[in-house]
A and B are shown apart, each in its own frame.
Chain A
Amino acid sequence: MSQKNITELDIKGKLCPMTFVYTKLALEKLKSGDTLNITLDYPPAVENIPENCKRQGLAKILDIKQLKDDIWSISLEKI
């Protein structure tokens, strides 16, 4: 069985659509089944990133957490 990798992506300070652009570019470098953990601070991206990943068939949404008042994390599994 091949190793599943976990990659961290910090996009704090990025606004939409760059939040999705950086997410997409990071996912392109992963293998199917790998995990991408994103840290972000732009509230609209908490909805936009999962929605765009679903629409483009890029990744499954594993988890969305609010870490602090203005910090969130999104875990994605590359399809």
Chain B
Amino acid sequence: MSKDSIKMELNNNQIERYSRQIVLKEIGGIGQKRLLKSKITIIGLGGLGSTTAYYLAGAGIGNLKIIDFDYVDLSNIHRQILHFTKDINKKKTESAFEKLTSLNPDCNIEKIDGKIVPKNIESIIKNSDFVIDGSDNFSTKMLINDACVKLKIPFTIAGALRYHGQIITVVPKKKTTCYRCVFGNITEEASGMSCSQAGVIGVIPGIMGSIEAFEAIKYLLDFGELLTNKILFVDLLTNQYNYINVFRDVECLTCGDNSNINLMDSGSEINDKC
């Protein structure tokens, strides 16, 4: 992020638009200008990604890169808040682009129609200040993890299924526990089910996606506590919010002391997003 960020001036429209954030002690005009200069990449525009994108655009993140290969389906709409009934069969990137630019014209949206794969992920995320995972499958989450650790870009990975969610933030420069340290080489087969099979209540990706958005904001403005070296598990059925401490694995294939990241070994397919 540019050190010049605080030299820009907020116009009257921006002062009004972001007034409720500027009032906050930790944000102010200086923080708001920093957000307007920030670059965030959101991978997947389903339940998690569309919620994250909505709040980040609303918060005034100046540059959002959004990626998805899929088309809006009727079964997505109960949880994927950027997509409306009129958008069925539209590309999710197009649907999201329309809503986000309408939501906040300050936000420059770059849309990428396509799958995130080992071949393209580094060029897509390389200039990002933060990366958000909005995918619903382990192979994509591992790919995001591995590429972000390799490029030392901070990121948040979340998951949502049925009534439950979990989330972790990783800051590679601080060598915090990475997603692979926790989940190893878990695969879709080992994990069991996706949203389409297990079901998901719409609010759970909404909640987890909202937390992802605030993790990015906290990182960018350097305040509060991040969900690093711990996983937050949310169980909305019983209203339990539990933190599990997790530790960096010195033998982790991604961030371990002798790791040598080869993205071609990481997973690569985004299926239908939660």
Chain A positions near chain B (C-beta within 8 angstroms): 17-18, 20-22, 24-25, 28, 52, 55-57
Residue of B16, B20, B22 near A24 (CB, 8 A) is: B22
Q: Nearest chain A CB to B35's CB is how many angstroms away?
A: 15
Residues of chain A with a CB closer than 8 A to B236's CB: none
CB <8 Å contact, A25 and B15: yes
CB <8 Å contact, A24 and B28: yes
CB <8 Å contact, A25 and B25: no
How big is chain B's contact interface, by range? 10 to 19
SS class of chain B's interface: helix, strand, loop or mixed? helix
SS class of chain A's interface: helix, strand, loop or mixed? helix
Residues of chain B with a CB closer than 8 A to A17's CB: 19-20, 23
CB <8 Å contact, B23 and A20: yes
Residue of B19, B20, B25, B28 near A28 (CB, 8 A) is: B28
Residues of chain A with a CB closer than 8 A to B112's CB: none
Q: Nearest chain B CB to A70's CB is how many angstroms away?
A: 23
Contact flags B71-90 to A (C-beta < 8 A → 1, else 0): 00000000000000000000
Cβ-based interface call for B232 (8 A): no
Q: Nearest chain A CB to B15's CB is how many angstroms away?
A: 6
CB <8 Å contact, B25 and A21: no
CB <8 Å contact, B29 and A18: no
Residue of A28, A52, A56, A57 near B29 (CB, 8 A) is: A28
Name B21's closest neighbour in chain A (CB-CB).
Answer: A21
CB <8 Å contact, A18 and B19: yes
Residue of A20, A28, A55 near B30 (CB, 8 A) is: A28
Name B18's closest neighbour in chain A (CB-CB).
Answer: A21
Instruction: For the complex of A and B, list the 3 residue pairs with the smallest distance between their C-beta atoms, beginning with the closest.
Output: A25-B29, A56-B25, A21-B19
Q: Nearest chain B CB to A43's CB is how many angstroms away?
A: 19
Q: Nearest chain B CB to A37's CB is how many angstroms away?
A: 19
CA–CA, A18 and B17, complex, Å: 11
- Extra contacts, 4 of them, besides A21-B23, A24-B29 (Cβ < 8 A), are A18-B16, A18-B19, A24-B22, A25-B15
Q: Nearest chain A CB to B132's CB is how many angstroms away?
A: 28
Cβ-based interface call for B10 (8 A): yes
Q: Nearest chain B CB to A47's CB is how many angstroms away?
A: 16
CA–CA, A52 and B16, complex, Å: 18
Q: Which of B13-49 contact A (CB under 8 A)?
A: 15-16, 19-20, 22-23, 25, 28-30
Q: Nearest chain A CB to B22's CB is how many angstroms away?
A: 5
Residues of chain B with a CB closer than 8 A to A55's CB: 25
Residues of chain A with a CB closer than 8 A to B25's CB: 55-57
